[in-house]
Structure 1
C-alpha cells in the first residue's frame, strides 16, 4: 500500500517558523560573553534623590555598545558605599537632584579606598545647581573623601578630552559650566564632576523620546553629552593610554 504524504497545516508551519526564529534570536551558549567582561557602572545610592534620571545609564550603555568596542551591561547596578564589593565596579556614578545627607565615616573611608586603588567616580548634578542643592552636598562629600585633592577644572588639552572623541566643549541638559572639574591622585583623575546634568541629556523614554530638552544648544549639545560620556567611560577603563599614543610618532622617529 502506498501511503499518501501527510499534509502539514498552515498553523503548524507558522508554529515551526516562530520556534526557529526564537531559537535563532536566543544567544548561543558558547558565544555569550561572561558577565565579568561587561562594563557595569555602579550607581551610588545615598539618602537623597539618588536616581533622578533612571534611564540615563542604560541609554549611555547603548551608545557605548554602538560607538565603541566596549561591551556594556544592560543597566547600571545600585551600590551602597557601606557594603563590600566596590572593587567590582571600575566606574561609579553619583548623581542627584537637591541636597543629600552627609555620608557616614565608613562610607567615606570605603569610597576613598576605592578611588586610591584605581577606581573612578563620575559625579553628575541633575538639578544644574551651583553653590546650593546637589552641588553643595557633592562638594562637601568630595572634599571630605579626598581632602588633599581639591576639585580643579580639567584643562582642554587633558587626555580626558581625547580618549575617543576630540572634545572642545561640554554637553548636558544645561550648561552651568563650560568645563568639568576633577580630583586627581598621582596624576590620574579619580573623580570627575559635572554640573551640567549629563544624565538629563542621555535620558530617553521606553517609547524612544528624549525625556528632556537640552538648552541652550539643542541636539548638538545632546550629542556632545554622549561624546563626553563615551570619553569618560574610556578614561575609566584605560586612563591615559591615549596620551601615550599621541606621542608614538615622535618616539618612532627618535628610534629611527
Structure 2
C-alpha cells in the first residue's frame, strides 16, 4: 500500500491561510533575543538550547496542520565532490531561525521545534518538507535510495542546499540518478511560480557563507564562494526533478547557501540586510509555500 502524507490532505486550508506580513518585520526585529530553553528532538536524541530564539505555543487543535522543519541526517560521507561540513552544517541555528521567521511572516502554523530525520525512518511521511545540506560528498545507502524515492513519488518535497562548484554538483547528480534513474534535474526558469508565489523575486538569489561575503568600495557585492576544483561559482543554479504531473519533487539550490542566511542573521548587520532579508528568507519562504501547496 502506498503511503501518503496526513498533512497533504489539508493543503487547501494551509494555502488559503497564507498571508504575507512582510519582511519589514524582520528588519525591525533584528536579532531574535528572548527566553532560552531546552528542546529535545526525539528523532535524534539531541538536546540543545534555542540560542535565544523565542518559542511559541501551538494550538492543540491544529497539531495536524503544523509545519515542521525537518533536516535530513545521513551517515555516509566521502563521495566524489570532496569537502564540506556534512548534514549538521548551520545546525541548529538555521532551522530555529527559519521556523521563527516563517511563523512571523506568514499565518502558517509552524512547529517551534525542528526535527532531524533519516530517509529510512518510519515517520518520514509525517514531514512533507525535507531539508538536506552539503551533498557534495554524500553517498546514499541502498536503503536511503529506496526511502527517498518512495517519499518523493508519494508527494514529498526535498530541498537541497549549500554546495558549490561542478564537482560537488556532479556528485549529487549521480546520487540522485540512483534515486530516479529515468529522471534528470533541469534548470528552473525565473518565471516559475516558486520564485513568485509569496515574494516576487526579480533574480535567482545567491547567498554566500558569511565569511565569503564582501562589499567593495565601489559598491560591488561578492556573493559567491571559491571551490577546490576551480570551477566558476558566480552563477547560482536552481534545478528541479519533477514528477509526471510536473510537480517539483527535489529542488536543488546550487552555488548558494540559503542556510547561512538563516543561521547568521544576527552576526553582521550588513550581511543580514543584504542576504538574509533580501534573499535567504524570501526564497526559503517561497520554497516552503510551494512544497506545502503542491
Is the TM-score greater than 0.5?
Answer: yes
Q: Is the 8 A contact 1:40 1:76 kept in 2?
A: yes
* Higher helix fraction (1 or 2): 1
Q: Shift of residue 189 of structure 1?
A: 0.6
The reply to whether residue 229 of structure 1 matches residue 287 of structure 2 is no
Q: Is the 8 A contact 1:44 1:80 kept in 2?
A: yes
Task: Please give the alpha-carbon distance, in whole angstroms, between the structure 2 residues aligned to 1:160 and 1:124.
Answer: 15
Q: Deviations over 1:117-161 (max 9, x none)?
A: 110000012xx421224x343222212112222111111111111
Name the counterpart of 1:72.
Answer: 110
Shift of 1:171: 3.4
RMSD (Å) for aligned C-alpha atoms? 2.6
CA–CA distance in structure 2, aligned partners of residues 190 and 97 of structure 1: 17
The structure 2 residue matched to 1:96, chosen from 134, 151, 160, is: 134
Q: What secondary structure sits across from 1:171 in the alignment?
A: coil
For residues 98 and 161 of structure 1, the distance between their equivalents in structure 2, rounded to whole angstroms, comes to 25
* Alpha-carbon distance in structure 1 between the residues aligned to 2:129 and 2:150: 14
What secondary structure sits across from 1:183 in the alignment? strand
Q: 1:40 aligns with which of 60, 64, 68?
A: 68
5+ residue gaps, structure 1, are 1-25, 240-256
Any idea what SS the aligned residue of 2:133 has?
strand
Residue 218 of structure 2 corresponds to residue 190 of structure 1:
no
Q: Which has the larger radius of gyration?
A: 1
Distance 1:51 1:28, change over 3 A: closer
The equivalent residue for 1:148 is 182
> Deviation of residue 64 (structure 1)?
0.8
Is the 8 Å Cα contact of residues 68 and 111 (structure 2) preserved in structure 1? yes
Would you say the 8 A contact 1:42–1:93 is kept in 2? yes
Does the residue aligned with 1:122 lie in a helix, a strand or coil?
Answer: strand
2:133 is equivalent to residue 105 of structure 1: no
Query: Is the 1:41–1:76 Cα contact (8 Å) retained in structure 2?
Result: yes
| Conserved 8 A contact 2:236-2:253 | no
Aligned residues: 203
Q: Is residue 171–residue 228 contact of structure 1 (8 Å, CA) maintained in 2?
A: no
Distance 1:57 1:167, change over 3 A: same
How far off is 1:163 after superposition?
1.3
Sort the Cα spacing of 1:75 and 1:185 in 2 relative to 1 into closer, same or farther, 3 A.
same
- CA offset digits 1:155-195 (Å, max 9, x no partner): 11111112111112213224443331111112101111112
Name the SS for the 1:121 alignment partner. Answer: strand
Q: For 1:168, which of 179, 183, 202 is the aligned residue?
A: 202
1:59 CA drift (Å): 1.0
Measured after TM superposition, the shift of residue 27 of structure 1 is 8.1
Provide the C-alpha distance between the structure 1 equivalents of 2:135 and 2:120, rounded to a whole number of angstroms: 22
Q: Which 4+ runs in 1 deviate beyond 6 A?
A: 26-29
